[in-house]
Amino acid sequence: MLELPIISISIFLPLISVLYILLFISQSKKADKPIYVMYVAVLSAVLTFISTIYILIEFDSSNPAYQFVERYAWLDKIGLEFHVGVDGISIFFVVLTSFLTLICIIGSLFTVKKYIKEYLICFLLMESFCIGHLPR
């Protein structure tokens, strides 16, 4: 098993995509073309789904403990740290969240006609918050 921070990648990839949309696409001449925002959102959702599938494949169902545990000290003075891991129940919800987000984003490309950028930003934020909440 690779020692990648795969849960952190799954959590922060949609957030990084939102920042990219807000900082670079909104400031460029491409802002008139929502197709670029759609490309970034779909790419982010696909990569997040692939990362959660990797977590599911590498998950050891015979081990009842938390797996893929990541712990990073954030503010040592007050004891604040970033600590995530997945167990046997939350792994399926993480994969389900990323799968449904991908399906909804692809489906919305054909139905949402106004405020596409704002809609996709909110959807990517929701994905990041849901995946970040499910692992404990």
Domain boundaries, the chain: 6-133
- Judge whether residue 117 has pLDDT over 60: yes
- Judge whether residue 132 has pLDDT over 70: yes
Q: What pLDDT does 25 receive?
A: 77
| pLDDT, tens digit, 9 for 90 and up, residues 47-88 | 999 999 999 999 999 999 999 999 988 888 888 888 899 999
d(CA 95, CA 81): 25
Q: What pLDDT does 28 receive?
A: 62
More confident residue, 136 or 128: 128
* Mean pLDDT of the residues in the chain: 89
- Judge whether residue 30 has pLDDT over 70: no
More confident residue, 24 or 63: 63
Average pLDDT (85-105) is: 95
- Judge whether residue 1 has pLDDT over 70: no
